[in-house]
């Protein structure tokens, strides 16, 4: 963990010094939506070619109740939070339309609870980490309002703990949580 923290600190310092050498520094803040039940705040700093981004407070939540038809009901809830950092390179296609690509480190924590009528509760905690490839497009309105759409496929590792059972899985996927839309304001 100390090595990861030191590596992330070094990466942030290198990116910050590289970006600060350019006089055309820009910042962007926006709302990020991964699907209808996950959103976050995104902050970007950089110049017109390279931007460092932090997506924090990636919150997700859900709840469901299912009638099993035999007098029992299955209830489940989940809540999660994530934190992502990345670096993106911008390529202008037209005056208001551009392409961007780069890399992103992601982390997440999810808590899920499930219970049936007449049975005990099951609680699962999941820790996740991943490395993604950013590929997106952005469109600028009135020089400071930006809407962008992206996908971030890549490998991820999830560690699950359910009572005394512990599992881990490594996956590489593109799913609905790896696609998102950001509505941002550049200043």
Q: What is the pLDDT of residues 40-93, one digit of tens each?
A: 899 999 998 999 999 886 677 778 877 777 777 778 888 888 889 999 999 999
The answer to whether the beta carbons of residues 20 and 176 sit under 8 Å apart is no
Torsion angles phi and psi, residue 117, rounded to 5: -60, 125
Domain count, the chain: 1
| CA–CA separation, 81 and 132 (whole Å) | 17
First to last CA, the chain: 35
C-alpha 101, offset from chain centre:
15
Sequence-distant (≥ 6) Cβ neighbours of residue 96 within 8 angstroms = 139, 140, 141
CATH code: domain of residue 21: 2.40.160
Record the pTM.
0.75
Domain that residue 71 falls in: 2-186
107-156: per-residue pLDDT in tens?
Answer: 989 898 888 776 777 888 999 999 999 999 999 988 889 999 999 999 98
Torsion angles phi and psi, residue 93, rounded to 5: -95, -45
């Amino acid at each position: 963990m100390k090595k990861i923290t030191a590596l992330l600190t070094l990466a942030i310092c290198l990116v910050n010094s590289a970006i600060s050498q350019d006089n055309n520094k820009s910042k962007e803040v926006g709302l990020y939506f991964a699907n209808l039940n996950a959103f976050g705040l995104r902050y970007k700093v950089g110049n017109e070619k390279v931007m460092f981004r932090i997506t924090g407070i990636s919150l997700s939540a859900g709840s469901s109740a299912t009638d099993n038809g035999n007098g029992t009901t299955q209830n489940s809830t989940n809540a999660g939070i994530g934190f992502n950092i990345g670096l993106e390179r911008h390529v202008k296609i037209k005056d208001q339309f551009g392409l961007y690509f780069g890399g992103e480190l992601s982390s997440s924590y999810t808590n899920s609870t499930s219970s049936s009528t007449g049975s005990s509760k099951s609680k699962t905690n999941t820790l996740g980490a991943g490395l993604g490839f950013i590929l997106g497009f952005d469109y600028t309105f009135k020089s400071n309002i930006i809407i962008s759409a992206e996908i971030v496929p890549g490998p991820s590792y999830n560690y699950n703990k359910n009572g005394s059972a512990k599992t881990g899985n490594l996956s590489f996927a593109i799913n609905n949580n790896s696609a998102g839309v950001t509505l941002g304001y550049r200043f």
